[in-house]
Amino acid sequence: MVAPLKLGIAGLGTVGAAVVTMIEQRADVLSARCGRDIKVVAVTARSKTKRRDLGLDGVSWAKDALALANDPEIDCFVELMGGSDEPALSAISAALANGKSVVSANKALIAKHGLKLAALAEKHGGAFNFEAAVGAAIPVVKTLREGLTGTDIDRVYGILNGTCNYILTRMEQEGLSFEACLADAQRLGYAEADPSFDIDGHDTAQKLSILASLAFGIKVSQSAVSVEGITSISPADLRAAAELGFRVKLLGVAVRTKTGIEQRVHPTMVPKSSSIAQVMGVTNAVTIDGVGMPPITLVGPGAGGPATASAVVADIADVARGIRALPFGRPVAKLEATKKAPMEHHEGGYYIRLMARDLAGTAATIATRLAEQQISIESIVQRHPDGAFEADGQPRKSSPVPVILITYATSEDAVRRALQAVQRDKVISGKPQVIRIEKN
């Protein structure tokens, strides 16, 4: 008989409680699939006295995470506390240094300290698994690390934050303002009281840095990701996108270019025909473009107790089976250094919305400035906003008119120079709205 895999779980919040419940309820199935039993033998949490509807009879309590990591009775340390530094960092480091395997759902910690922890796992022989850190139930880490080992990846991109996707979905479908949708997301528990980490794109950036490492063999570096949030997106942009055959999504994109790996997070227009455009609400999705194969899109719940717990338990099952994959798919020593790619070097199509003033020669001035930067226009739409006409049907003087441009592929630097010139010419009101386009 193979001895049971003995677990120590640090953190009994929504995810930790769901993991304990799943292991208890699916004990027979897990034993059959793994060839050995999986037992929770020790736990720790902020409060031992808090009422929990969990079967913890016979389970010992450690005074803190570090004590649990050093407990000689456990084989696998499961870290579900969160936080990019202490106490999670010291506890995981101790567990790995003791030769134990570690399973974590902590994207912030992995984005910041993943290389150090992976090196410890390599040195001492334990597994370091973190499927739940990106996309919760979506098995994208294992797909990149193991399923596509023989495939060269050109691009990986996706919707990695359910809060932002929910807000953009509601704005598009109901014509609501960003502020109204954010307030509703907070009421429903999809957004935090301070939502800035999500809506400013930093949550997506942490996850993207992990995916980029797995896809391209580069060192995890959140600082190498260019980040923009969704607060500038208006219902007018979403309506225009729909009319032009696009949807707006907050995407994390890592792509191989002639000058290196470009990593970026920003609002993006994607064709309505694309798989990623069909992903609505709080759902997450990741598309992988590999050499010699059609794109693969993985879709599923990106957060929540049961969804995250399913990924955690799958990682635990791999430990029970004796699987020891390199955490980032390659030895840490062979991961290549990376740096932030200047966004002005980015090349692609652009959506540009300008509020053009009612002045003679405005259209010609805009066209001239674009032509000076060799920017070609794929389509142009001019519409008069409500209140732009007098009672007799004549255009109201001095009322700015929205002009929407879709460009062919060009450089970001060219777009910025052209729009700066247009602003200097004083033929538009306010700041131009620019959204990058990501083709299939």
pLDDT tens profile 396-417? 566 788 999 999 999 999 999 9
CB-side neighbour CA atoms (13 Å) of 169? 18
State residue 438's pLDDT score.
93
The span from the CA of 355 to the CA of 400, in Å, is 5
Please tell me the pTM assigned to this model: 0.92
Strands 128-129 and 101-104: parallel
Three-state SS at 104? strand
Cβ count near 44 (within 10 Å): 25
Confidence of residue 393 (pLDDT cuts 50, 70, 90): low
The span from the CA of 96 to the CA of 76, in Å, is 9
State residue 373's pLDDT score.
95
Coarse DSSP helix, strand, coil percentages of the chain, rounded to the nearest 5 percent = 40, 25, 35
Note the pLDDT tens digit of each residue in 318-353: 999 999 999 999 999 999 999 898 888 899 999 999
Q: Which amino acid is at 360?
A: A
Structural domains in the chain plus CATH codes: 5-137+308-333 (3.40.50.720), 147-301 (3.30.360.10), 343-437 (3.30.70.260)
Could you give the C-alpha distances from 412 to 150, 233, 255, 406, 434, in angstroms and in order? 33, 19, 16, 13, 10
Q: Which helix (H) or strand (E) holds 71?
A: none
Is residue 275 over pLDDT 70?
yes
112 among known catalytic residues: no
Confidence of residue 280 (pLDDT cuts 50, 70, 90): very high
Is residue 271 over pLDDT 70?
yes
Is residue 385 over pLDDT 60?
no
> From start to end of 308-360, where are the E strands?
347-356
Instruction: Spot the catalytic one: 207, 334, 340, 397.
Output: 207
Q: Which two tokens stand for residue 270?
A: 């994607």
